[in-house]
């Protein structure tokens, strides 16, 4: 019983890296992954914020495009292996 309670506590702890290098043990803000001191109450940047935009490599569209290309490459490799197996 006590072990389960400890596990629940660990699951709900912030675990952000503190200045001493240890994980933060404070409870998380409800519905968030971090405690109030480590950004749990911060909503993040507003939608459309371009403050950290450099080259667009990590934009949603580019991430989707890359994953589609990777899928195509995977399919092509599978097909080429199947064709080679025929001979």
Query: Which two three-digit tokens encode residue 77?
Result: 């490799």
Residue count at the site for Zn ion (CB under 5 A)?
Answer: 6
Q: Which stretch binds Zn ion (CB under 5 A): 9-17, 43-51, 53-61, 75-83?
A: 9-17
Question: Among residues 8, 11, 27, 35, which is the contact residue for Zn ion, using CB under 5 A?
Answer: 35
Question: Among residues 26, 29, 32, 39, which is the contact residue for Zn ion, using CB under 5 A?
Answer: 26
Place of tokens 């950004």: 39
- 17 backbone dihedrals φ, ψ, rounded to 5°: -75, 125
Query: Which two three-digit tokens encode residue 5?
Result: 């309670």
Rounded distance between C-alpha atoms, residue 50 and residue 56, angstroms: 10
Q: Which of residues 52-71 bind Zn ion (CB under 5 A)?
A: none
Residues in contact with Zn ion by the rule CB under 5 A? 14, 16, 24, 26, 35, 38
């Amino acid at each position: 019983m006590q072990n389960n309670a400890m596990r629940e506590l660990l699951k709900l702890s912030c675990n952000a890296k503190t200045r001493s290098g240890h994980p933060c043990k404070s409870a998380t803000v409800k519905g968030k992954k971090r405690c109030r001191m480590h950004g749990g109450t911060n909503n993040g940047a507003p939608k459309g914020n371009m403050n950290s935009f450099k080259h667009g490599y990590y934009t949603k569209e580019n991430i989707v495009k890359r994953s589609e290309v990777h899928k195509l490459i995977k399919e092509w490799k599978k097909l080429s292996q199947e064709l080679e197996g025929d001979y």
